[in-house]
Structure 1
Amino acid sequence: MNSMTGFGRAQIQTAASSIKVELSGVNRKQLEIAINIPRGYAEWEQSIRPVIQNAVSRGRVSVSVTVDRNPDSSENTMFLDETRLAGCMKTLDRASEVAGRDLPLTVSDLIRLEVMTTAQDAEESAEELWPLVEPTLREALDAFLSMRSVEGENLKKDLLEKLSNLENFRSQIADLAPSVPSRLRDSMVKRLEEAGLPVDLGDDRIIRELAVFADKCDVTEEITRLASHFSQFKALCDSSTPSGRPLDFLCQEIFREFNTIGSKANDATLAHLVVAAKTDLEKIREQVQNIE
């Protein structure tokens, strides 16, 4: 079992630059991948995305890649791209003619136009740097998945503890359920007698009505299904495959069974148990939302 929450970081240092990759994850119903890459290296995204998709099935994963140049590296010496500058100047001269006034260029303009670059920028392309980025990405991903696994184990422990409470509520309900029809029958007969309407319990019609009434109050099927749901819940907690969605579905089914028990039994004692069970179940559902 894995949590959808996690963080991983890895970094590699070269003579000319430092490459850092960070991954963070939060819960989502589907898989969402957000990738932040330095300008000029956009082609990395098509290589990064499948690496994440093969390792993660659900959640929002943010991937950040930064490339910081070493300020002491001789490869960071600024140089002028004369060919690009000549083209820019030609365009600027035409723009000046149209505007009817001089349009001077500043150093910041040259940088924005990428006329002034570094030797490292010119030499290290995205393709050349990728062999360094890929292992760094995978190292960060391993740390990210490890944290999700640890968090998942903590969630599993908490879920199983809360599930044990639900099993206890189910056990109490199973012990009380058989006596509910007889208690309700006695209560109904007593109310009729107090209203001056004595009931002959030997009357076949009364017997049939009481039998139908008892059948409507029977929650044996719901109790049996709860046991099955709890068993499946435990199996999913021990599964190595993503279990968030099926666990969420089981929570809905468990809620429905408890709700039906409360409606059918029409008994104050069982109603209190059902309310307590639904309260614990809601806590389980909140935790399940964080499971992959």
Structure 2
Amino acid sequence: MLTSMTGFGKATLELENKKVSIEIKSLNSKQLDIFTRIPNLYKEKDLVLRNDIKKQLERGKVELSIFIESVGAEKETKINQPIVEAYYRQLQDLSEKLNISIDNEPLLNTIIKLPDTLKVEYQTLDENEWELIHKGAQSAIEELIQFRTQEGTALEEDIFSRIHIIEDLLSQVPQFEEDRINTIKTRINDNLNEFVEKQHIDKNRFEQEMIYYLEKFDITEEKVRLANHCKYFIETAQTHESIGKKLGFIAQEIGREINTLGSKANDTNLQKIVIQMKDELEKIKEQLLNVL
């Protein structure tokens, strides 16, 4: 059963003082590429989320985002009271020594602008809160996996239908083979008669050369291999493994046999069949780029 690398999952949590939205999406890639966008408060858990993704998603370009709508704030700015008091006492002493009168309100405004009078207190990570967010991330990953499975079913239907078209086209080849051989024989005879007089032709040698020449254009082996490759493709796709790359290799072998058929065709009808096969195979290859 095929699985797509394209998917999307989302989970939303309503916590005590914040709303958390977790989104994860994936696109096709040759390997697993993980990108995360999470608030600083949860940065220390980045590796945990990455390990969860590695265990469950195998391959693809994956982006995980966590968005916070907070009722409070992730950081809170407070007045550093001891520092402000120290500044105030020093300025009062200085004003007395210099005999300068000062108003308290302007003085306070001045002090607040001095270094270290304000301090930022960051929230610490609440492990209970993190457990809820972690479960939400797991839920989003599971939704993405379900999305991938649904997309994979659609891909499978399309790819299998094109493999069957190639098989149907292959079944049409035999009806043109006899005429094709006769055409080749006629062409060789006509060319020979045009350039060599009949009395100078060694019939036994001519028949041997004719057989050798026709054997070079025999496509029995290519037909058998192509049919086997198509069958093997279907069988492989129905396993429960990550087989996108393997199917890509089988598709290459299918293309190799189709190309050989085309090079040996020497017949208009067969060439048309080969072109149709190539068209279907190219569409299969495009779809396989998105298969896990």
TM-score tier (shorter): 0.7 to 0.9
Q: Does 1:23 align with 2:21?
A: no
1-side partners of 2:74 and 2:57: how far apart? 38
SS of match in other structure, 2:5: coil
User: Residue 70 of structure 1 aligns with which residue?
Assistant: 71
Deviates more, 1:179-188 or 1:55-64: 179-188
Number of residue-to-residue matches in the alignment: 267
SS of match in other structure, 1:115: strand
User: Post-superposition shift, 1:247?
Assistant: 1.2
User: Residue 250 of structure 1 aligns with which residue?
Assistant: 250
Q: How does 1:93-172 map to 2 (within 5 A)?
A: 115-117=119-121, 121-122=122-123, 124-125=124-125, 127-172=127-172
2-side partners of 1:8 and 1:85: how far apart? 49
Identity of matched residues, %: 28
Give the TM-score of the pair, scaled to structure 2.
0.81
User: Residue 100 of structure 1 aligns with which residue?
Assistant: none
CA contact (8 A) 2:80 2:119 kept: yes
1-side partners of 2:144 and 2:220: how far apart? 46
2-side partners of 1:215 and 1:84: how far apart? 100
2-side partners of 1:50 and 1:155: how far apart? 28
Deviates more, 1:178-187 or 1:221-230: 178-187
CA contact (8 A) 2:38 2:66 kept: yes
SS of match in other structure, 2:56: coil
User: Residue 260 of structure 1 aligns with which residue?
Assistant: 260
User: Post-superposition shift, 1:177?
Assistant: 3.5
1-side partners of 2:245 and 2:130: how far apart? 35
For structure 1, the residue ranges without an aligned partner over 5 or more in a row are 90-102
For structure 2, the residue ranges without an aligned partner over 5 or more in a row are 88-109
Please tell me the residue identity of whatever aligns with 1:214: L
Deviations 1:51-79 (A, max 9, x none): 111111211011001232125xxx88945
SS of match in other structure, 2:48: helix
User: Residue 80 of structure 2 aligns with which residue?
Assistant: 82
Compared with structure 1, are the counterparts of its residues 78 and 34 closer, same or farther at alpha carbon in structure 2 (3 Å cutoff)? closer
1-side partners of 2:210 and 2:119: how far apart? 93
User: Residue 273 of structure 2 aligns with which residue?
Assistant: 273
Q: Does 1:227 align with 2:227?
A: yes
CA contact (8 A) 2:34 2:62 kept: yes
User: Residue 92 of structure 1 aligns with which residue?
Assistant: none
Give the TM-score of the pair, scaled to structure 1.
0.81
